[in-house]
Amino acid sequence: MKYLTIDTTTKITALSLGEEGKLVGEGFLHTGKTHSERLIPMLEQLMIAADWQLKDLGFIGVVNGPGSFTGIRIGIATAQGLSQVLKIPVIGIGSLDTLSWAGCGRKEDTVVILDARKNEWYSARYSWNDNRECLEPPRAVSPQYLTTELDKLEREFVFVGDAVPKAKEYLEKTLGRKAIIPLEYQYLPRGAYAACEAWEKWLTKDINTDNSKTVEPCYIRLSEAEVNLKKKNMEN
């Protein structure tokens, strides 16, 4: 089965084409342009390069968060639109679970950190001993709280996610040799990681193949607009 994945949860636009779990092609753009400007042209180029047509697709996997609220909405809307036109199912996959594939095969725990703003990270921790195990589920947490927790553990951690570049110095200062920072192309969101996660979910989860069903975003915490509205309602 052929499938497409879309990841717009960070500033990176990442697409992939997969077949039976095998990566056929991926697109990666980390530029100043918005997802709405580059997503469709990038998809068209990837399909042409692979010599595929949209009608060849069996399903679409879309990364549904946590991450950028706007990016999540763009990705889901694009996936849902294609799903309706092609009459194929669309499945949601978590951004932290998806990025955990960057640590596949490593002996260290994999800690995913995404920029959540407000001096917080979206984070989760995984082990890849035999199969993947989620040791700490997705949450929004301050860098200070997370590193204090990790420092109590007698193990090493490989850090992945878009928060890594700014966090690198802090992680190495607070955790020392426990903090392992891979190369940039390994720790940033990639279409290849989404291809793995989407196929894994397609095979192992109870997927609703009704393409009329929508994928719900996973925000973890309220948006700024929702926070302001809640505050306003409490004051009235």
> How confident is the model over 144-172, as pLDDT tens digits?
999 999 999 999 999 999 999 999 999 99
Closest C-alpha among 39, 49, 14 to residue 197: 14
Domain boundaries, the chain: 2-95+189-231, 96-187
- As given in the structure block, the two tokens for residue 67 are 């991450």
> How confident is the model over 206-234, as pLDDT tens digits?
565 566 568 999 999 865 554 454 455 55
Closest C-alpha among 205, 193, 154 to residue 175: 154
pLDDT at 140 over 90: yes
The CATH homologous superfamily to which domain 96-187 belongs is ATPase, nucleotide binding domain (3.30.420.40)
Helix (H) or strand (E) run with residue 92 in it: strand 90-93
Q: What mean pLDDT is reported for the chain? A: 92
Topology match between the domains 2-95+189-231 and 96-187: yes
Give the model's pLDDT for residue 227: 47
When the candidates are 3.40.50.9100, 1.10.8.80, 3.30.420.40, 3.40.50.300, the CATH number that belongs to 2-95+189-231 is: 3.30.420.40
The proportion of the chain whose per-residue pLDDT surpasses 70, expressed as a percent, equals 90
Distance CA 4, CA 61 (A): 6
Tell me the average pLDDT across 73-78: 97
Query: Are 202 and 3 in contact, with CB atoms under 8 Å apart?
Result: yes
- As given in the structure block, the two tokens for residue 17 are 């084409």
Tell me the average pLDDT across 105-129: 96
Out of 14-18, 42-46, 67-71, 228-232, pick the least confident.
228-232
16 φ, ψ to 5°? -150, 155
Strand 121-127, strand 109-115: pairing: antiparallel
pLDDT at 138 over 90: yes
Distance CA 169, CA 183 (A): 14
Query: Are 7 and 14 in contact, with CB atoms under 8 Å apart?
Result: yes
Tell me the average pLDDT across 6-22: 97
Helix (H) or strand (E) run with residue 154 in it: none
